[in-house]
Amino acid sequence: MSTSDRLSQASSPLLQAEIFDEEKQGSPSFIAKLDYMLKDTTVSPYISWSPCGEKIVVFDASSFSTKVLSRYFKHSNFTSFVRQLNLYGFHKASLDNGACEFSHPIFKRGNEHLFKDIRRKIPSGNDRELQVARAEIEQMSVYVQELRCMSICTR
């Protein structure tokens, strides 16, 4: 069965997004769903490509959250959506009319064949060092508690 046949028989946009995601070769799930969402003309009043195709535009975050997000994701939280965009390297710009634009050097209309190259950001060295330091502090705290217990028990 072809992808278009499977999509036409799917009962919900979320299921359609999952089918579409399976067909995308190597694109992360979030990116595949975002691409599919932008191709869905029923959501274009809430999210669409900018006229030049260089950015995506969310016209009203509140309406987008309530009417679109839960159709494609397991939540309807705009902040979570923006967090995911940030994890994949998108940059946000707010417009005067209250809309939000998001851009990415690869995620552009017509570049669908390159979407597979978009990956989540890996924490920088400083973030890893911070995580290691926190783990060491936690381990030292455990040792201190053990020493206190030992000193109390030997009294």
More confident residue, 84 or 14: 84
- Span 94-125, pLDDT tens digits: 777 889 999 999 999 999 999 999 998 876 66
pTM above 0.85, yes or no: no
Residue 4: pLDDT band by 50, 70, 90 thresholds?
very low
Q: Say how far apart CA 28 and CA 33 lie, in whole Å.
A: 9
> Is 3-121 CATH 3.50.50.60?
no
Closest CA to 84 of 26, 33, 126, 151: 33
What is the domain partition of the chain in residue ranges? 3-121, 122-155
Q: Say how far apart CA 109 and CA 95 lie, in whole Å.
A: 20
- Sort residue 53 into left (φ over 0), alpha (ψ -120 to 50) or beta: left
The amino acid occupying position 155 is R
Is pLDDT of 19 > 60?
no
- Contact predicate 94/100, CB 8 Å: yes
Average pLDDT over residues 17-25: 53
Kindly provide the residue ranges of all beta strands, DSSP E only, lying in the chain, ordered along the sequence: 47-49, 55-58, 91-94, 100-103
